Amino acid sequence: MHRIVIQTKMDVIMMADKKTRKVTQMGNSLGIGLPKDIVDALNIKRGDEIEFDVKDNRMILSKKNRLEDQVDVEMMKMLTETFKEHHRVFEKLKDR
């Protein structure tokens, strides 16, 4: 029996039996459905981006990290206020 290990950057979050899906036509492209247990384990939502990589004749799929998930909310608020407060200075700097 084959095992699939799904990992985040920090730890293994799930082990499942090997999955098989049939490739289907999706408009002008080909596609596959993602198994629910993998979708749940990686918290994949509609609209999320998936990155593809091919190594050693294997396709590696990764959920792309969103900027919102990587940046502190308070930090973004502070940056937004700073840009608003100093808008004229930033406008002059961009023309240099």
- Per-residue pLDDT of 2-29, as tens digits, reads 444 555 544 444 555 678 889 999 999 9
Contact 42, 63 (CB under 8 A): yes
Residues 6+ apart with CB under 8 A from 1: 17, 18
> What pLDDT, on the 0 to 100 scale, is given for residue 16?
53
Alpha carbon distance 70, 68 (integer Å): 5
**pLDDT value at residue 22:** 93
Residue 47, phi-psi category: left (phi > 0), alpha (psi -120 to 50), beta (remainder): left
Can you read off the two tokens belonging to residue 14? 């799930």
Whole-structure pTM value: 0.48
Please provide residue 20's backbone torsions phi and psi, each rounded to the nearest 5 degrees.
-125, 135
Instruction: Tell me what pLDDT residue 95 has.
Output: 72
Residues 41-75: tens digit of each pLDDT = 888 889 888 888 898 988 888 888 776 667 788 88
Q: Is 6 helix (H, G, I), strand (E, B) or coil?
A: strand
> Which domains does the chain possess?
3-65 (2.10.260), 66-96 (no CATH)
